[in-house]
Amino acid sequence: RKVPADAPTECNTPRWQKLGMTDTGIDRRYYELCALSEMKNALRSGDIWVQGSRQFKDFEDYLVPPAKFASLKQASELPLAVATDCNRYLNDRLTLLETQLATVNRMATANELPDAIITESG
């Protein structure tokens, strides 16, 4: 069987164009391999999905539904490992940074930094 001349070829990459397009038309075997290969790539990237599949389901199905997200956000109950308030988050990070810098400074003063030595010349 021949592939119709008006068959879609948008998914054909230059690599497949060299193999699948001949002087007599489209080579059916390479055309089918190209289609299967591109479908595999699209499934892996999430560009297409299989309804009812666990492995290749729609990316949106992994997310919290928009209505529930809005209600959780409004109630400040988002289950996140970080603060959702910007000022609180930045203050927490600044406190952590200051604590870590104090630890490094103490270790440097006592010459206890692993794999590092700070001398008068730098």
Reported as a single tens digit per residue, the pLDDT across 45-98 is 999 999 999 899 998 888 999 999 999 988 888 888 888 789 999 999 999 999
Residue 119 has pLDDT above 70, yes or no: yes
**Cα(2)–Cα(120) distance, integer angstroms:** 81
Side chain identity at residue 68, one-letter code? K
Report the mean per-residue pLDDT for the chain. 86
**Cα(68)–Cα(105) distance, integer angstroms:** 46
The predicted pLDDT at position 96 comes to: 97
Residue 121 has pLDDT above 80, yes or no: no
Residue 21 has pLDDT above 80, yes or no: no
Q: Give the three-state DSSP class for 23.
A: coil
CA 77 to chain centre: 25
Band (pLDDT 50/70/90 cuts) for residue 106 is: very high
The predicted pLDDT at position 95 comes to: 97
Q: Where are the alpha helices (DSSP H) in 28-85?
A: 28-45, 66-74
- For the chain, report the end-to-end CA distance as a whole number of angstroms: 77
Band (pLDDT 50/70/90 cuts) for residue 122 is: low
pTM of the model: 0.51
Could you tell me the CA-to-CA distances from 102 to 23, 115, 116 in Å, in that order?
73, 18, 16
The answer to whether 50 and 43 have CB atoms below 8 angstroms apart is yes
**Cα(13)–Cα(9) distance, integer angstroms:** 9
